[in-house]
Every structure is written in C-alpha cells, then in structure tokens.
Structure 1
C-alpha cells in the first residue's frame, strides 16, 4: 500500500453553486463528518482541502483557525490546500479591486500559517484565479493578462512572506486562464517561483475541446469522444504543456459537457466517480499529471484532492457518494503513488 500522495476531500462543493439562487449551502460540519465516515477496505481520507468562504468561515475572526484545527483533529484529519476568497476583487480590475484581491490572499496565507502552528497543516497551497470573466478579458487580451500577472506577482510576494505557494486554477470560466495556452502564457508572464498551476481533471479536460477559446482546441470538432486513443492524445498535449507548472491536483470525472448552477459560470462538469457517461479513465488519466513524459513519478504533489462541485444536495448528502469518491482516489494512489 502506498502512503503518498495523501487523499483529501474538498469542502467547497458545499458552497459552490449553492445559495439563495440555488440549493441551500451544505454546512461545513456535515461535509467534515461525512468525509471522516468514508471508508474503503480499511482506507480512510487523510484530510480535507478547504474553501475559506462564508458562511463556512470568517477570515476576520481570529478564533476561526483554532476552531477548524480542533474539528479536523477530532476526526484525525489534516488540512491541505486552501481556496482564497478573492472574488470581492479582480486581478485585472481597478487599483482598489486588485488591492482587495491581494489582501484576501494575505488573509488566507495568514490563516494557513496559523493552521501550521496548530499542527493540522503540513502541506498544500493557496488557490487563486483571475476573478474575471472571459468576455471582459477579451476586450483587451494582452493588457488584461499583464494586469492579472502583475496582481499575481504582488500576491506571490505576500504569500512568500508566509512560506506559501499560490496555485492558479485552470478553468474555462476565468478570463486569461480559459485555455491551456493562455494559462501557460500567464504563468510565464507572472514568473514567480512560488506560483504554479492547479490541475483539475474535469476542468482541464475541457481545455482540449476549446470551450471559450476555439483557436486553442486540440480535439477536432467531430472527434469521437468515446475513442480512448483520441482522448489520450489530447490529454498528453495539455499535460505536457502544464505539468511542469503543476503543484496541486484535483481528481475528477467529466462527460465533455459544461455546467453551472447558482451564480457560478458554466465550466467543466464534475460527474460522480461512478458516472457511466464519464469520458475519463480516472486512475489511468491521472497519470498524465502525476507522471512525467517518460512515465516516471514526479512526486510533485504530497496530496491529491477530489473536486465535485455543483452536485445536487441529494447526491452530496449520501454517504455512498463519499465512499465512491474515496475508492476512486485509492485507485489513483495505487497506480501512481509511492
């Protein structure tokens, strides 16, 4: 049995796509207890990745890190990566908006440092995105990408003071990050050692299909999406380009469609781990991210996390859902762990 990478569940699916214009938010304590209860052949989750978002968390409450630390320790879990709530600002917005963006990164890094001091966080990154839409970015592609890169640089300098790394999430709904080529260009433009890429098997699969950036499509429009050789070739192109930057990894399933709920823009559909319409061979295709071009383990990620945003509450409140997710993660670690 491999010990690494550690297996984590995400808590932000209880928030993303939920709220007044959708289904109710799932309480953090519910997500935590269901994560802790999951078990597959004696294997349990090692930890959780956390979205530092209201109403789950209040970053202005100095006692919040201690409360979280006590809760996860009670369940014998660790905290890994954190999602910074940067959407009150914009990485390509006004000076005030960009200042707010960097301030939210600072608060998130400070929160993460306190978790380290409390002994419940030993690894993981702080996740960011451009907090900007694709259509707004397209009004001035080069100028807006330069602004995003400048904001990321400022945030990276703040994060470095806390010993944190920032991972930019590859997702088709974020302006300047909505294609694999734009993503590489932005990372090169940012040029900070503590800024990398967060790959998500569902979101990054859509990079191959050219959603929101047809000029960067890899899969032909008439491609047979059930032809595994076609899928594998497209995944190799994307992963060869982005793997050198990848410092955080989400395991997920995708059926080739886009989906959004609540106020969340459409992006890569997160299917259930057992979805018969899923186009990915989860355990095999994770290897494109976790192994280099020669098939050797990169060991770049101490942990991996399942991301399943925008599932209906009826699905997320079933314990079997989390058992199935854990089983998928175990298969990934069996195939690509150490």
Structure 2
C-alpha cells in the first residue's frame, strides 16, 4: 500500500564524515553535489522529498550570516527538497566540546546547540523546513573515560543534555540523542535508556534510532554486559532480542535512520569506530531493513515523526557518486514507507 508519510529524506553528512585532507582520507563531497545526487534519484516517479543536514564546514559555517543561510535554503529548495533534522556541531574541533567535560566544555556544547537552533529558525521562516529535530550526542569519543566513574559521568551528560533541551524547547525545537556505540554514556541500549530517563524531558529530548548502530547495541560491542545476542544466533533469537530493545527505546524515538549493517565496525578520520553502514543491497547485510524498520515505526506519527532518513555514513566516494546507489536506497525507503507509513 502506498502512503504519503513519512517523507523520504537523504543525509548530507556522508559527504563530510570521515572525509578530509589527512593522508588516506578521501576529499569531502560538496553540499551542492550531494544535493544533485539526491535530487537525481527516482524510482517509478517517486523522488527523495528532503534532506537531513550537518551544520558544519565545508557544507555550512555554523556562524554564517542570516543572508548566507537564506542562500543555502534557496539552494536546497531549488532542488525540490525540504530540510528535516539538523545535526548540531557539538564535538571538540567544531564549535562544541564534551557533554561530560568541565564548565568551559559544556558551555561550548550549549553554544553549538544555540547555533543550531538559530539556523533552524532561519530555515523555518524561509519555508524550506517545517519538521524534524536537532541531533546531538555526548561528544565524548570512546567509553574509557566514562567507565572511570560511569554513574557520575552519566549524570554529567544528563545535566548537559537537560540544559541543551531547555535551549531547544525555548526555540520551539526538540533534540534527538543519537544512539551509537562510539559515544560515551550512549554506547549501549541500556546506558542510552538510563541517560534518557535521567534527563527526563521526553517532550524536549528523545532518541534518534539508526538501524546500523542499534544492530551493534544488540551485540553489546562496547558493553558486553548488555548484549542481547551472540554470534551464531537464530532468526527467532534475533527478533526476540530486537523486540526487547525496541520496546525499551521506541517510546523515546523521535528521529529514525534507515540503514544496513554487516556486523562490522568502521571508523575514518577522527570519527571513532562505530556501526558500519552498508549499501541497501549489500549481500552481507545482517538486517531485513523493511521488517526491522517496522519495530521502530510503530505509532511513529503519534511521536511526532514526519520523515525518515537514509544514512550512508562513511560510504566511499565512488559509492556515493554512483547514481545506482541512490536509486537502490530510494527504492528501499519506498518499501519501508509502503509497509509502515500512513
């Protein structure tokens, strides 16, 4: 059955994350090139309807003037695309710093969230954006420092997130905390749930689920004590574990990434190892994308979800620049919407 919602988005950050000028890194792909690749995809008359957008250089200067940002909004709209969720530049080396750091660090974290809210307001007033969240994480790469005092460090992150959620709420925005195994305090399904419950602001801060990253939550890659599966699992064991995890995190889920994972971790540049995103038709993919998406999209509209986004983070440039990649992804997104949309 065909549906009009959720809207189908493509992420822009695969053109940036893991790319750069260091030896061995591939160069970034420009925003306009990523927009053109997205806009060109088409399956049986259906096209991508929007993008999710990383607010950092070289795509965007988070301190750009209002006029510069309006020009970017014009560019995106000229491709027939809307803007959905935004990624705040909360990491060390961008605008922000660790959410479990000292006051100077957490002040920088809040500044990054304020910048993202300012850009969201400009895009909203322009008309290119009228739904979506602002994505954050703990901006603390790896989990070793967190483990030194897990309870206290989770409280530090929760306090930072709570203040950031107040900033977002005052701006009419919601924050979505990304579940990914490389972010301290968010690196397992149980630690993520504990953090969300400690923040305790579901109207202002929820969870951003990604199929590739949450697969590794099941396997307990950075938290063996919270593993729900072990290699050699059966299909029945997989779906029992998947249901347990999604039942815990789905009520918090306000942003959703469609993706594939082959059971491996991958890292590039300064981005620590995390779930390896694979092409939608990767023969080594561990997930039935359409079926697994359904566990996260139950009652999605009631949680305010209006779009879903494909995430191909750290795909090689040759893969990203191949039109077939995007048609295959778009076809998968259409299947997800047909099965679970409204």
Q: Give the TM-score normalised by structure 1.
A: 0.96
Q: Where in structure 2 are the equivalents of 1:140-219 lying within 5 Å?
A: 140-192=149-201, 193-219=203-229
Distance apart, 1:171 and its partner CA: 0.2
Of 244, 257, 263 in structure 1, the residue corresponding to residue 264 of structure 2 is: 257
Of 86, 91, 101 in structure 2, the residue corresponding to residue 87 of structure 1 is: 91
**1:238 equivalenced with 2:245 (yes/no):** yes
**1:51 equivalenced with 2:54 (yes/no):** yes
Distance apart, 1:230 and its partner CA: 2.3
Distance apart, 1:59 and its partner CA: 1.4
Q: Retained in 1: the 8 A contact 2:178–2:209?
A: yes
- Counterpart in the other structure of 2:317: 313
- Counterpart in the other structure of 2:127: 119
Of 335, 338, 342 in structure 2, the residue corresponding to residue 331 of structure 1 is: 335
- Counterpart in the other structure of 1:135: 144
Corresponding residue SS for 2:263: coil
Which sections of structure 1, spanning at least 5 residues, go unmatched? Answer: none
Q: Retained in 2: the 8 A contact 1:291–1:298?
A: no
Corresponding residue SS for 1:265: strand
Q: Retained in 1: the 8 A contact 2:253–2:303?
A: no
Which sections of structure 2, spanning at least 5 residues, go unmatched? Answer: none
Question: Is the alpha carbon distance of 1:155 and 1:128 closer, same or farther for their aligned partners in structure 2, counting shifts above 3 Å?
Answer: same
Paired residue total: 332
**1:35 equivalenced with 2:35 (yes/no):** no
Corresponding residue SS for 1:87: coil
Corresponding residue SS for 1:208: helix
For residues 219-263 of structure 1, the C-alpha deviation after alignment (integer angstroms, 9 at most, x for no partner) is 03x433xx3222211211110110000000000001111111122
Q: Where in structure 2 are the equivalents of 1:73-84 lying within 5 Å?
A: 73-84=77-88
- Counterpart in the other structure of 1:103: 111
Distance apart, 1:299 and its partner CA: 6.1
Question: Is the alpha carbon distance of 1:297 and 1:118 closer, same or farther for their aligned partners in structure 2, counting shifts above 3 Å?
Answer: closer
Q: Retained in 2: the 8 A contact 1:172–1:206?
A: yes
> Using the alignment, how far apart are the partners of 1:236 and 1:300 within structure 2?
21
Q: Retained in 2: the 8 A contact 1:81–1:124?
A: yes
For residues 12-67 of structure 1, the C-alpha deviation after alignment (integer angstroms, 9 at most, x for no partner) is 01111111231101111100011001000100001000000111100111123202
> Using the alignment, how far apart are the partners of 1:72 and 1:240 within structure 2?
36
